[in-house]
RNA sequence: UCCUCGGUAGCUCAAUUGGCAGAGCGACCGGCUGUUAACCGGUUGGUUCCUGGUUCGAGUCCAGGCCGAGGAGCCA
């Protein structure tokens, strides 16, 4: 058997006889000529067989091999501009075919449009198709870029618990589970409070794992289980946080452009908009954003849009507001200085303006909305205690958290980045359920 | 929780005023030497989401329910 190669390395073995191990994605029979489109996990390759070049039994086997059958194909690699595939441009002239398993019966996913519910019921098979394969390859690259950048810039990975004693922020609805004789435990919605403890031991830390929200959100931007990376830094104020974030995000985007070019192109993504994502990012204060939104609203004729954009200083932005704001820029934009009332209890107040918090969200362009949310944290123990009381949070549960401000308190900041929203933006797809291998939504836990 | 839309063949969808339930794709058979979800001919394919009602007659109208999608709120 000729040496086994990966389909994304075909250019390096042009002219050589190789073996490709994979699955039949599509077959086009033209009579005396057959095209097989083969997946091998690394890409999609066209393999071609001419009847006159092969013995009749082999040719007949190639003609008959059903979709999704597992195969070992040997043949000679050649460049051909007509060859489809990911990345494409090379094809294999078949000299041999070994069928590992021949599929019997109908394969559920046809090469045509399907409904969302049907596809999600068959998610275990859906991930084989080019679009889903490409998206999940981008996801893996995003995660690797995140870890590489943080590991290379002085951050220590410190894992935070998934089973937690209570609501971290006391806001969203959590999934609960009975925890032996200790009452209820809750699936983590954030590792942030633990991160804040960890920076006093390690300086700069991050946690990276699944988080859970039991909110009954039914939109293209929500999952009940999603992945979030949360960096946290000691001796870091809000401005330094934004500087770090733009370096970090730019690294992720440029890494994906470099390592997942074929995947992005196969998804039809416009790469020029991603190439622009380099520091610095534009920054707009909440105050100015509210003014801009009022101007946009005044210019709008659509009464429905007018109603959606209505807001006064003090409210939080909804999805329509974020979309309009991001349309003003061709890069991600920082929006900072939200009213304290709409943000979590632990955020540092703006100097001289206690009604404003040192908070910052990063909004992705093209209407993708909030991909990070962060802030400078309160460093004064008395102020923190005051806020905990104002928010009616159980003081006892936060005793350890207040301790952090009593023993060597420093200005510190951090944020959370939603992996799925980032992948959706980079891939240019409109629903985040496609950016996670097995999405969990309010009415789906299968497969 | 609220608003809007939807549920018909394995899949994607049609079905006029309430009047014989259809097409494409898939599968199967045949044809084709450059296909890109190939194309062409043939064969196969039905609990019209459920329950009740109106009617000579219901996929279609009415009531209730179930399931799904999009959006709002909340958030990443």
Provide the ipTM.
0.89
* Residue whose token pair is 């091999």: A65
Nearest CA-CA partner of A316 in A389, A393, A373, A391: A373
CATH topology of domain A7-101: OB fold (Dihydrolipoamide Acetyltransferase, E2P) (2.40.50)
Which CA-bearing residue is nearest the C1' of B24?
Answer: A112
Nucleotide with C1' nearest the A371 CA:
B76
Which CA-bearing residue is nearest the C1' of B10?
Answer: A108
Tell me, in Å, how far CA of A115 is from C1' of B8?
A: 15
Q: What are phi and psi of A196, to 5 degrees?
A: -65, -35
Sheet architecture: strand order including A176-178? A163-164, A184-187, A176-178
Both structure tokens of A208: 């990276």
Q: What are phi and psi of A27, to 5 degrees?
A: -135, 130
Nucleotide with C1' nearest the A30 CA:
B32
Query: How far apart are the C-alpha atoms of A77 and A95, rounded to whole Å?
Result: 11
pLDDT at residue A306 in the model: 78
pLDDT at residue A424 in the model: 94
Top-tier CATH class for A124-435: alpha beta
Tell me, in Å, how far CA of A63 is from C1' of B15?
A: 38
Neighbours of A131 (CB within 10 A): 16
Which CA-bearing residue is nearest the C1' of B1?
Answer: A216
Mind listing the pLDDT tens digit of every residue in chain A (447 residues)?
899 999 999 999 999 999 999 999 999 999 999 999 999 999 999 999 999 999 999 999 999 999 999 999 999 999 999 999 999 999 999 999 999 999 988 888 888 888 888 999 899 999 999 999 999 999 999 999 999 999 999 999 999 999 988 655 555 778 888 889 988 888 998 999 999 999 999 999 999 999 998 888 888 889 999 999 999 999 999 999 999 999 999 999 999 999 999 999 999 999 999 999 999 999 999 999 999 998 888 887 777 777 778 888 888 888 889 988 998 998 999 999 999 988 989 999 999 999 999 999 999 988 788 999 999 999 999 999 999 998 888 888 899 999 999 999 999 999 999 999 999 999 999 899 999 999 998 888 888
pLDDT at residue A168 in the model: 53
pLDDT at residue A169 in the model: 55
Q: Which region, left, alpha or beta, applies to residue A347 given φ > 0 means left and ψ of -120 to 50 means alpha? A: beta
Delimit the domains of chain A by residue range.
7-101, 124-435
Nucleotide with C1' nearest the A93 CA:
B34
- Output helix, strand, coil percentages for chain A, rounded to the nearest 5: 35, 25, 35
């Amino acid at each position: 058997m000729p040496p086994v190669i990966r389909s994304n390395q075909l250019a390096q073995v042009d002219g050589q006889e190789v073996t490709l191990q994979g699955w039949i994605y599509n077959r086009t029979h033209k009579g005396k000529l057959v095209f097989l489109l083969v997946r091998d996990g690394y890409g999609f390759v066209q393999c071609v067989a001419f009847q006159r070049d092969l013995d009749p039994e082999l040719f007949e086997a190639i003609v008959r091999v059903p979709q999704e059958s597992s195969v070992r194909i040997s043949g000679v690699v050649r460049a051909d501009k007509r060859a489809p595939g990911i990345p494409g441009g090379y094809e294999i002239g078949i000299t041999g075919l070994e069928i590992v398993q021949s599929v019997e019966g109908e394969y559920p996913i046809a090469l045509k449009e399907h409904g969302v519910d049907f596809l999600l019921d068959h998610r275990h098979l859906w991930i084989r198709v080019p679009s889903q394969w490409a998206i999940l390859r981008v996801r893996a690259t995003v995660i690797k870029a995140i870890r590489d950048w943080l590991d290379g810039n002085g951050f220590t990975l410190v894992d935070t618990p998934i089973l937690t004693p209570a609501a971290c922020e006391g806001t969203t609805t959590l999934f609960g589970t009975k925890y032996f004789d200790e009452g209820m435990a809750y699936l983590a919605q954030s590792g942030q409070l633990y991160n804040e403890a960890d920076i006093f031991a390690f300086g700069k830390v991050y946690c990276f794992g699944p988080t859970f929200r039991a909110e009954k959100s039914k939109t293209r931007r929500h999952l009940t289980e999603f992945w979030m990376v949360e960096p946290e830094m000691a001796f870091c104020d809000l401005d330094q946080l934004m500087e770090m974030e733009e370096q970090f995000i730019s690294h992720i985007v440029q890494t994906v452009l470099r390592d997942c070019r074929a995947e992005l192109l196969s998804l039809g993504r416009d790469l020029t908009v991603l190439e622009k994502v380099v520091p610095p990012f534009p920054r707009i204060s909440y105050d100015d954003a509210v003014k801009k939104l009022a101007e946009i609203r005044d210019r709008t004729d659509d009464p429905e849009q007018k109603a959606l954009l209505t807001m006064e200083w003090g409210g939080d932005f909804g999805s329509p507001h974020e979309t309009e704001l991001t349309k003003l820029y061709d890069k991600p934009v920082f929006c900072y200085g939200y009213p304290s009332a709409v943000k979590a209890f632990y955020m540092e107040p703006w100097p001289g303006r206690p009604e404003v918090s040192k908070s910052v969200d990063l909004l992705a362009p093209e209407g993708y909305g909030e991909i990070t949310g962060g802030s400078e944290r309160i460093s004064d123990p008395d102020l923190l205690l005051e806020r905990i009381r104002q928010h009616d949070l159980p003081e006892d549960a936060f005793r350890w958290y207040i301790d952090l401000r009593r023993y060597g308190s420093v200005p510190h900041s951090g944020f959370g980045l939603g992996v799925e929203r980032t992948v959706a933006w980079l891939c240019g797809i409109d629903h985040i359920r496609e950016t996670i291998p097995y999405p969990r939504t309010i009415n789906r836990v299968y497969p």
